Amino acid sequence: MMPDRSAPVSGAPTPPGDISDLSARIRATRAEVARLHGDLVRYGLVVWTAGNISGRVPGADLFVIKPSGVGYDELAPENMVLCDLDGNVVGGSEGSEYSPSSDTAAHAYVYRNMPGVGGVVHTHSTYATAWAARGEPVPCVITGMADEFGGEIPVGPFAVIGDDTIGRGVVATLSGHRSRAVLMKNHGVFTIGTDARDAVKAAVMCEDAARTVHIARQGGEVAPIAPDVVSQLHDRYQNVYGQRNSGDSEGAAS
């Protein structure tokens, strides 16, 4: 039997000696994903029950995602939903009585097709979604954007929620792109990261950039940054900035 009261997932057998370790990784992912939803509220990226976070279980073909339509103040590790990489709820697992987010198929598609992605976030944050409503990418005109996204924040295709079409648009737009955020046309923001926390950071920074550039444009034309300078800034931030032994960089470079 698979840990977390789940049957083994097809295609992802677990050696008996690794069962307790996998169970611990699932519990840790549940706790992290539940906790990070509070950051979406803290940074003003969501309203009511909209938005979601998922996190890949390290070393397994599984991910944990927010339950559909459950209020943010009700979220807890035990009601996070465990899914396989086809987006199916793992029967008998903790939280399996809940329906997963309506964006589950999109998240699953991203995980299947971008193996380096460990976390996915979706929001309808105000300023970034306003750019998405216009179908307009956020231009890279501030150094913080160059640092974090390595260029503009692109627009992905319009797609109706319910199947993996949104995920296909996310993958098609971000594959080979330095940005970890995409503005899905007429919809909202999807971000990816090495883990769920990294994807949340990208969502926070995407909204900050969208707001700043929107305000800047109220005063007139914005000044572009040369592509070679954007690349230099991005390389420095990704490879030099911050405490290298911490595995994390906080906020814009300073």
Give mean pLDDT, residues 35-56: 98
Q: How confident is the model at residue 4 (pLDDT cuts 50, 70, 90)?
A: very low
The proportion of the chain whose per-residue pLDDT surpasses 90, expressed as a percent, equals: 86
How would residue 27 be classed by pLDDT, with cut points 50, 70 and 90?
very high
- pLDDT beyond 70 at 236: yes
Residue 243 CA to residue 206 CA, distance in Å, equals 22
Q: How confident is the model at residue 242 (pLDDT cuts 50, 70, 90)?
A: confident
Note the pLDDT tens digit of each residue in 164-213.
Answer: 999 999 999 999 999 999 999 999 999 999 999 999 999 999 999 999 99
The H or E element spanning position 146 is helix 143-149
Whole-prediction pTM value? 0.90
Could you identify the residue written with the tokens 């550039």? 213
Widest distance between CA atoms in the chain: 64
Token readout for 123 is: 């929001």
User: Could you count the other beta carbons within 10 Å of the beta carbon of residue 108?
Assistant: 23
Question: For the residues 16-28, what does the mean pLDDT come to?
Answer: 85
The model's pLDDT over 98-156, given as tens digits with 9 standing for 90+, comes to: 999 999 999 999 999 999 999 999 999 999 999 999 999 999 999 999 999 999 999 99
Across residues 23-48, what is the average pLDDT?
98
pLDDT reported for residue 76: 98
Note the pLDDT of residue 243.
83
**Residue 18, pLDDT score:** 73
Whether pLDDT at 7 is above 70: no
Angle between helices 165-174 and 104-113 (to 10 degrees): 40
First to last CA, the chain: 50
Mean pLDDT of 29-39: 98
Decide: 146 and 229 in contact? Cβ < 8 Å. Answer: yes
Structure confidence at residue 200 (pLDDT): 98
Q: What is the pLDDT of residue 245?
A: 66
- Contact between residue 174 and residue 192 where contact means Cβ atoms under 8 Å apart: yes
Instruction: Compute CA distances 220 → 136, 213, 215, whole Å.
Output: 17, 11, 10
pLDDT at 55: 99
Contact 187, 158 (CB under 8 A): yes
Domains and CATH numbers, the chain: 16-240 (3.40.225.10)
For residues 110-133, b (16+ Cβ closer than 10 Å) or e, as one string? Answer: bbbbbeebbbbbbbbbebbbebbe
The pLDDT mean for the chain works out to: 92
